[in-house]
Amino acid sequence: MYNYFRRCLIVSTKIHRKLSMQESSYENILSPMINYYANSHHIWNNLVYKKFYCQIANNEKTNEISVMKNNAQQKLDEVLSNLEDLKRYQILELEIDVIRHDAGKVPEKLKPDDWLLLLKLPSKTQRIKYLYYLWCNETHKKNQKMKKELKRAKWLAEKAEAEAQQKEDSDEIKYGLTYNTMFLRINSTTMNYYYNAKLIQAMMFAPKVVFDCSYESYMSFREIQNCAKQLTLSFANNRAHVDPMCLYYCNLNKDGLLMKYFQQNIPTLLNNDFPAIVTSQSYLDLFRKDQLLYLTPHCKTDITEYDPDTVYIIGAMIDMQNTKPLSLAKAKKDGIRMGKLPLEKYMEWGPSS
């Protein structure tokens, strides 16, 4: 019965895609995987099922990471081929050595991506702040690794003690994950299958929310990192919700920093079976203008009722420094409706709120 339900779900996805998204340019996002599963539904083994629900093999992850590292190293080599940039790179090396000898908080190793960002920073103060940020991340990773090693050593000691005690005890029935139990263990992989299955269904029937990722040029590198983290949290919270929505990440520059940090958080982001729409196209190319409503805090019109047929757009921007009404200007330029959430009526805004 469960396998039959899965086959019906995939076939309905294919039919719905042909009927409602035939003219959309993002039609190929799901088509390779869906066509495969719809045409060969008799091969429902465990391996195929895992691949459908955006689980990638360890070697694929390793290949992606190595490709990203090689690309960063190639960009750094291209920059250092210029004599002026090479001199600036050597000066920065001396500057970092001086900070390190003065007991400054500087990371032990710098990656090619870090060097590329350091070469772009104009002032020494910004470079010191960025080096301190990298040092904090490196220290955090070391502490986490140490905690894992201590936790593993403690677990091995407890396991050895339990095995020794088991030999001494009588032949009574014992309950637990390593003994006899009447409860099944639900691991994280099974939960991933469940959550991703809900998102696949939400892509067909649930209301749609768009994240406009076209504000990368207005943010600093640290704001871009925070923005990528918030986009990741938006996907995770929506994925774990009882009734998830269909998320669109539009105007996303696939060669930009936002895409880089976003993909670091979610390695399966650009996979064909990823249960969200990630595209460099504009929302104007995907939806009609009368469907769209841009959520901007600079608008005077409050939204008091929720319309499931409306596609709400959220500007993906961290505006800690740049407080210009960019989302308002973007909505006016595109000629679409605007509105804001009445947060002031329910929340008290102030410093550190």
Domains of the chain, first to last: 191-345 (3.40.1280.30)
Average pLDDT, whole number, for the chain? Answer: 78
Question: Predicted confidence band at 145 (pLDDT cuts at 50, 70, 90)?
Answer: very high
| pLDDT at res. 69 | 62
259 near 253, Cβ under 8 Å?
Answer: yes
Q: Say yes or no to pLDDT of 160 above 80.
A: yes
pLDDT for res 293: 93
With bands split at pLDDT 50, 70 and 90, how would you rate the model's confidence at 170? low
Provide the pLDDT for residue 151.
Answer: 94
> In sequence order, which residues have a C-beta less than 8 Å from that of residue 268 and are 6 or more positions away?
54, 55, 56, 274
Among 148, 104, 154, CA closest to 129? 104
Q: Is the pLDDT of residue 171 over 80?
A: no
Lowest-confidence range among 58-72, 311-325, 326-340? 58-72
pLDDT recorded at residue 80: 82
How far, in Å, CA of 340 to CA of 299, rounded? 6
Per-residue pLDDT averaged across 71-97, rounded? 84
State the pLDDT at residue 125. Answer: 87
Query: For residue 10, what pLDDT band results from cuts at 50, 70 and 90?
Result: low
User: How far apart are the C-alpha atoms of 42 and 279, rounded to whole Å?
Assistant: 32
Q: Tell me the per-residue pLDDT of 88-116, one tens digit each, with 9 for 90 and over.
A: 888 888 888 888 888 788 888 888 888 88
Question: pLDDT class for 246, splitting at 50, 70, 90?
Answer: very high
Give dist(CA 316, CA 295) in Å, integer. Answer: 11
| Six-digit token string for 243 | 């009734």
Task: Give the per-residue pLDDT at 272.
Answer: 84
Question: 38-66, pLDDT tens digit by residue?
Answer: 444 444 444 444 444 444 444 544 555 56
Q: So what's the pLDDT on residue 100?
A: 84
Q: How far is CA 274 from the centre of its chain?
A: 11
Looking at the DSSP bridge assignments, the partners of residue 208 are 246
Q: Give dist(CA 27, CA 20) in Å, integer.
A: 10
Q: What is the pLDDT of residue 164?
A: 76
Of residues 43 and 287, which shows the higher confidence score?
A: 287
